[in-house]
């Protein structure tokens, strides 16, 4: 990692902007909810961008047309960390699959057949990147109700 002080807000803005045209093809709205005055974090901007692209990209894949994806960031723990979340109103993940989503080559559920396919390594790479930053990543989901991927990066 090449960790330097970076603006997580800027990384989110750039990631959302770069994936907006793909979301637009499915009429998916990308909403940002970023805490004002968010402090900088010591992080590798390229790697955090990679994590966000993976999480937002997955949300786009698994969210039906006319859906909404929320990308949020806030300080947590006093503030000792920044928490970033990507929440969609897509198909969700069943309870049996939740423990496996970060396993290499594991893929959950079905996408629209015309959507971009994946290899099943994106979430395992995202987990590795977050953990290299001494952060944590987890998933919260309910089938048919959408999914939230949340990660923290220490300040």
The pTM (predicted TM-score) of the whole model is 0.89
Q: Tens of pLDDT along the chain (155 residues)?
A: 899 999 999 999 999 999 999 999 999 999 999 999 999 999 999 999 999 999 999 999 889 999 999 999 999 988 899 999 999 998 888 888 888 787 775 555 544 444 555 556 889 999 999 999 999 999 999 888 899 999 999 98
Give every CB contact of residue 52 below 8 A, 6+ residues apart in sequence: 11, 12, 15, 71, 84, 86
pLDDT at 112: 45
CA distance 90 to 99: 19
Q: Could you give the strand order of the β-sheet that contains 81-88, starting from the edge strand earlier in sequence?
A: 29-34, 68-76, 81-88, 146-154, 136-142
CA separation for the pair 89, 54 (Å, rounded): 17
Q: Both ends of the chain: CA-CA distance in Å?
A: 15
Question: Can you give the pLDDT at residue 111?
Answer: 45
- Is the Cβ–Cβ distance between 130 and 137 less than 8 Å? yes
């Amino acid at each position: 990692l090449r960790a330097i002080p970076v603006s997580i807000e800027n990384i989110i803005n750039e990631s959302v902007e770069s994936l907006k045209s793909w979301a637009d093809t499915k009429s998916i709205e990308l909403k940002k909810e970023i805490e004002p005055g968010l402090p900088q974090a010591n992080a590798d901007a390229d790697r955090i961008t990679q994590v966000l692209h993976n999480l937002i990209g997955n949300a786009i894949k698994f969210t039906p047309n006319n859906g909404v994806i929320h990308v949020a960031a806030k300080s947590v723990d006093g503030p000792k960390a920044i928490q970033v979340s990507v929440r969609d109103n897509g198909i969700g993940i069943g309870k049996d699959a939740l423990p496996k989503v970060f396993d290499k080559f594991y893929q959950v559920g079905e996408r629209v057949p015309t959507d971009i396919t994946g290899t099943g390594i994106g979430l395992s790479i995202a987990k590795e990147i977050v953990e290299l930053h001494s952060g944590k990543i987890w998933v919260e989901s309910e089938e048919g109700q959408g999914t939230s991927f949340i990660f923290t990066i220490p300040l």
